Chains A and B, each alone.
Chain A
Amino acid sequence: MPAAGSHVAHHFPDLEVQSHAARLGMWLFLATEVLLFAGLFTAYALYRMLYPSAFLGASKLIETSMGALNTVVLITSSLTVALAFHYSRQSRNRLAALLLVVTIGLGFVFLGVKAVEYAHHFHEGHLPGRFYHYAGLQVPGAPMFFTVYFLMTGLHGIHVVIGMGVLTWLAVGAWRGAYGGDYTTPIEVGGMYWHLVDLIWIFLFPLLYLI
């Protein structure tokens, strides 16, 4: 385990203040992420109000079981990333790294399920706006559902990919023993980001698949 002092940048008085700054910074960043998605949630609310029956019909075209599977996958990945932080604090770095790798693997499972769903939508013509050509549901508002669906899940998917990149970085660092003991802030803030990605999905799943 490296000495805690070597991680303190010159402008911070001690590690505690520096970790506090990192956490505060991440909380603020998460607030910006929530507001980024808030724009899309607003659009969802408006168009759901304007086209209630079309949204109801269109949401039956997406497979609830796939969404449910992905929900379980992401919640499990939140558990593994939290455990990685837990073991990192005990300086069990290899175990922490393995748990991060499991988290990344669950991210791949999520993306794989999403890809199967997307392929199905492309095949059937469940597409946004002017690309929509599904003969089974031709009502005003159905293309808008898929506009909102693809924008929300697409932006979320980009966040999953970014999160997996961050976790890869952390896993390599943890394997090499860069963190541990007093100095686990990078895993903590990276985990916070992953939790947010999970949390946004927990809102997307019921809005798009269930109601």
Chain B
Amino acid sequence: MSPSPASIPPAPADAGAPLYLERNYLNARRGPWSWLTTLDHKRIGVMYLVLTSAALFLGGLFAMLLRIELLTPGPTIMSALSYNRTFTLHGVVMIFLFMIPAIPGIFGNFFLPLMIGARDVAFPRLNLLSVYLYLAGAAIALYGMVHGGADTGWTFYTPYSTTTVTMVWPILLGAFVLGMGSIVTGLNFIVTIHTLRAPGIGFMRMPLFVWALYATSIIQVLATPVLGITLLLVAVENVFGFGIFDPARGGDPVLFQHMFWFYSHPAVYIMILPAMGAITEVLSAFARKNTFGYKAVAFSSLGIAFVGFFTWGHHLFTSGQSTVDAGIFGVLSMFVGIFTAIKIFNWTATLYRGSIAVRTPFIYVIAFLFFLLFGGMTGIALATVALDVHWQDTYFVVAHFHFIMVGGTIAGFLAALTYWWPKMFGKRYSERWGIVGATLIFLGFNFTFIPQFLLGNEGMPRRYYSYPERFWPLNVASTAGASVLALGFLVVLASLLLSLKYGKPAGPNPWGSRGYEWKTLSPPPEGNFLTQPTYPRMPHDYDDLNPGRGGH
């Protein structure tokens, strides 16, 4: 496992830099008030890290409750209604409080300005506002959860969501406010990328994580408002009964599905594109090779963002959509597979003949590639209308999107977290425990969700709290896997938190990465750079380490 020392050469540019900057963005100003009113993008990133990690913990707790309930065929620890509430809260918390804001909110805020040589994002006050919108949205949703929760599933399908007696409107309103925060972040990033790139960083020299954030932000800005109006309409209908989606009053519930998925399908690319961007950075750094096909990787992000807007109909294959529409949406959905494959082949080509250092972040990269390939291929299968009719609303669908969201997004999130942790906090975590955590997560994840593919294919429907006895063994396997997965998360959490106190100083560039964000100290000073860095080479440029075989 341990790489030869030669595979991590010290970066010559950092020779004179201190190992740990005593006066940095974390302690330049002190006291809680300095955090609550900060305009520093790095501190806002750290606040997002704390908040979204808490959401991940809460959502994970709900997931474990669900898996415990499904340990036996009959009722185990909760009633049917509690189960419905629990899976709704699991979905809402994971999607709106973790998956969508996490990578852009944490790593986008922290590293986007560092990667383009800027002092901050374009609108620092709006950036702080996005944190408070996140808090407000979470508080409103939490109010609904405490006062009865919702039992509609995170998709809020009408007419059930407008007639249910559970407290669905605060959760809708919370998601609306969270959406406003997401829009603000996306808008801020687009303007930052357009106006604040340092001299020497043209569009075609931006790090690929920045390209991924750019594509993500476009989706956030253009899709989220449609979710906003849709959720408002459901809330109005739920409270006042205007009948806009209610067939009893002449309304059309399928209109809700169209409007909901017009946002919510592109939203899965809000979740996965930043993870893809982070993986590109980590993969190049640990293969010690230039990213193969820079332009292809950059433009495939935009391609996914674009095509993502024309795929929503694949959620309506069984909702009375015409066969022609279903076929068109199926084919358009497969285009996403083409752009994703472009990325996967370029990543593989980057690894080819690279000098690979197997460190903790790299294990997540390998896990990500496996999960994305597996989740992506089952996605292509689900986009095929005839197959989808068989798998509709079964555990096959559940397993598919968990492979992309948990496998893809969380593996990307953890790769980014373990790769950038030394830069963010200036400390090294225990490499041994890091690898143990990553391995547990990889194994636990597979044991959780591969059985669910099999269950779904045998016909086990999603969103039921009981099931026939023939599904028992695979459900036990899934719950066992989920326990290992949870243990893995706890190991990661503990090893990272302990590193803050006991970790060795990281130095400016512990991985020997050529990414632009490593050109400053660890942790960075309050103003990002002591002196403005220069950018004479492409990001991810390792040509001098690979004489005679450049990346392209």
Contacts and interface: CB of A to CB of B under 8 A. Distances in A.
Interface of A: 9-12, 17, 20-21, 24-25, 28-29, 31-33, 35-40, 42-43, 46-47, 50-51, 128-130, 140-141, 143-144, 147-148, 150-151, 155
A-B pairs, top 3 by smallest CB distance, nearest first, are A129-B243, A39-B229, A11-B119
A129 B248 CA distance: 10
B252 interface: yes
B310 to A, nearest CB: 15
A147 B244 contact: yes
Given A21-B122, A28-B190, A128-B243, A38 B226 contact: yes
A129 B237 CA distance: 9
Q: Which of B121, B195, B255 gathers most chain A CB within 10 Å? A: B195
A12 B287 CA distance: 36
A7 B250 CA distance: 55
Given A24-B191, A141-B250, A11 B120 contact: yes
21 contacts: A11-B113, A11-B118, A11-B121, A17-B196, A21-B122, A21-B123, A21-B195, A21-B196, A25-B188, A31-B221, A35-B222, A39-B230, A39-B233, A46-B255, A47-B252, A128-B243, A129-B241, A129-B242, A129-B243, A143-B243, A147-B244
A28 B228 contact: no
Interface in B183-226: 183, 187-188, 190-191, 194-196, 221-226
Contacts of B191: 21, 24-25, 28
B251 interface: yes
Nearest to B245: A43
Contacts of A32: 183, 187, 221-222, 224-225
A35 B220 CA distance: 12
B341 interface: no
B244 A43 contact: yes
A14 to B, nearest CB: 11
Given A11-B196, A12-B195, A143-B249, 8 more contacts: A25-B123, A31-B222, A32-B183, A36-B225, A43-B244, A43-B259, A147-B242, A151-B233
Contacts of B251: 144
Contacts of B551: none
B124 interface: yes
A23 to B, nearest CB: 9
B47 interface: no
B229 A36 contact: yes
A153 B537 CA distance: 55
Nearest to A10: B119
B122 A25 contact: yes
Given A20-B195, A143-B243, A129 B249 contact: yes
Contacts, number: 112
Interface residues of B, number: 40
Interface of B: 113, 118-124, 183, 187-188, 190-191, 194-196, 221-226, 228-230, 233, 236, 240-244, 246, 249-252, 255, 258-259
Contact of B250 (A12, A24, A35, A51): A51
A40 B225 CA distance: 11
Nearest to B527: A10
A129 B221 contact: no
B109 to A, nearest CB: 14
A40 B242 CA distance: 14
A196 B196 CA distance: 27
B187 A25 contact: yes
A46 B245 CA distance: 11
A16 to B, nearest CB: 10
B305 to A, nearest CB: 14
A1 B318 CA distance: 65
Contacts of A21: 122-123, 191, 194-196
Given A128-B243, A130-B249, A143-B243, A28 B122 contact: no
B229 to A, nearest CB: 4
Contacts of B187: 25, 28-29, 32
Contacts of B183: 32
Contacts of A31: 221-222
A141 B226 CA distance: 24
A28 B226 contact: no
A46 B243 contact: no
Given A17-B195, A151-B236, A43 B255 contact: yes
Contacts of A50: 250, 252
A36 B250 contact: no
Nearest to B180: A32
Given A25-B123, A46-B255, A143 B250 contact: yes
A35 B226 contact: yes
B84 to A, nearest CB: 27
Most buried by A among B113, B236, B250: B250
A128 B252 CA distance: 15
Nearest to B231: A39
Contacts of B120: 10-11
Contacts of B240: 128-129
A7 B345 CA distance: 48
* Interface hub of A32, A37, A43, A150 (most chain B Cβ within 10 A): A32
B195 A39 contact: no
A50 B252 CA distance: 10
Contacts of B252: 46-47, 50
Contacts of B229: 36-40, 155
A185 to B, nearest CB: 13
Contacts of A17: 195-196
B150 to A, nearest CB: 21
A51 B244 CA distance: 13
B225 A35 contact: yes
Given A11-B119, A20-B195, A39-B230, A144 B250 contact: yes
